[in-house]
Amino acid sequence: MRAHLGDQLVIESPATGVARRDGEIVGLHHEDGTPPYDVRWSDTDDVTLVFPGPDAHIRHTEHGRPEAPRGSSPPDTGEARAGSATVSPPGAPNPGDIGRRVAVERHRHGLSREETARRARISPAYLAYLEEQPADPTVATLLGLAGALGTTAAALRGAGVDLPPGRGHALLRPQLRDLGPEECRRLLSTHGVGRVAVSAPDGRPAVVPVNYEVVEDAIVFRTAPDSVPAAAVGTEVAFEADHVDEAMSRGWSVLAVGPASVVTEPDVVRGLVRRAHTEPWAGGAREMWVSIRPARLTGRRITPADQ
């Protein structure tokens, strides 16, 4: 058995072959990648020294990197050239996929670049480069960033992007608690992606994801007049938004229920367009604004029992 940093150690049930436990290899004790390993378990986030038995196997991640073109190099940041294989021309930021994921996680945790870099033990200049240019950091750098951001190197690489969230293990001692209206409003604001539940024109129930904004006390989204979300107008609907922390097996959800109406006042529509954080991801002509006024706002959060 041989492994690299960032690989997964999977322990299966000998009877069913189903994974009972898995974790990310964050430390090697032999240069040739043989056991034992330091493993950060996905169900507890604890790091332990593991001597794998016959019911364990390694799930390898990609470790190859393209060779850097002649003359190209990342900024001189003292990071042992843990940077990109290509360098974008000067101008607007052009981050790669890893840089985008790092920036999103950093903002979600409310961390500055300086604090994130300190926790990951890299320089702030290199972190800025990583977030703004298509970089290819080393496994060690990825592991440091993953630890600083409370996620995994695999998640920063984009593993599981085509899989539904929540496939990790449940917490050993989970706590499910109700959220008050004020915390629900805080989690919803100010924008994001949520789901609206409506009765479609054919009479069947439908749940559709939409890019939403929170404006004063209303949840608003853009759609097309002949679309499924437009069926919300004139009815009482349910709107749900949530976040799942895959690495930590925790998350929250907020449910808003209330009447939906179309926004018709030209000045209000212009104001919504001006303050919108993003265009609808679905693209196309979506100029009809729908407003939901929550009459009931409830939510739940899953955390470890000791938090």
* Tens digits of residue pLDDT in 218-237: 999 999 998 999 999 999 99
Question: DSSP label at 131?
Answer: H
| Average confidence (pLDDT) over 276-289 | 87
Reference 286, options 238, 239, 220; nearest CA is: 220
> What is the CATH class of 174-304?
mainly beta
Residue 194: both structure tokens together: 């949520």
C-alpha 163/C-alpha 25 separation (Å) is 22
90-94, 142-146, 211-215, 255-259: least confident range? 90-94
User: Collapsing DSSP states into helix, strand and coil, what is residue 307?
Assistant: coil
**What is the per-residue burial (b if ≥16 Cβ within 10 Å, else e) of 194-205?**
bbbebeeeeeee
pTM to 2 decimal places: 0.57
* Tens digits of residue pLDDT in 2-23: 888 878 888 876 655 555 788 8
Q: Percent of the chain at pLDDT above 70? A: 81
Instruction: Confirm whether 66-160 and 174-304 share one CATH topology.
Output: no
- Under a CB-based contact definition with an 8 Å cutoff, are residues 214 and 274 in contact? no
Cross-strand bridge partners of residue 58:
9
- The domains of the chain are located at 8-59, 66-160, 174-304
Asked whether the bond before 36 is cis by omega within 30 degrees of 0, the reply is yes
* Homologous superfamily assigned to 66-160: lambda repressor-like DNA-binding domains (1.10.260.40)
Radius of gyration in angstroms for the set of CA atoms belonging to the chain, rounded to a whole number: 23
Give the mean pLDDT of the chain: 81
Greater pLDDT, 136 or 263: 263
Round to the nearest angstrom and report the end-to-end CA distance of the chain.
38
Q: What is the largest CA-CA distance in the chain?
A: 68
* Tens digits of residue pLDDT in 124-165: 888 988 898 887 888 888 888 988 888 888 888 876 666 666
User: In which band, very low, low, confident or very high, does the pLDDT at 245 lie, cut at 50, 70 and 90?
Assistant: confident
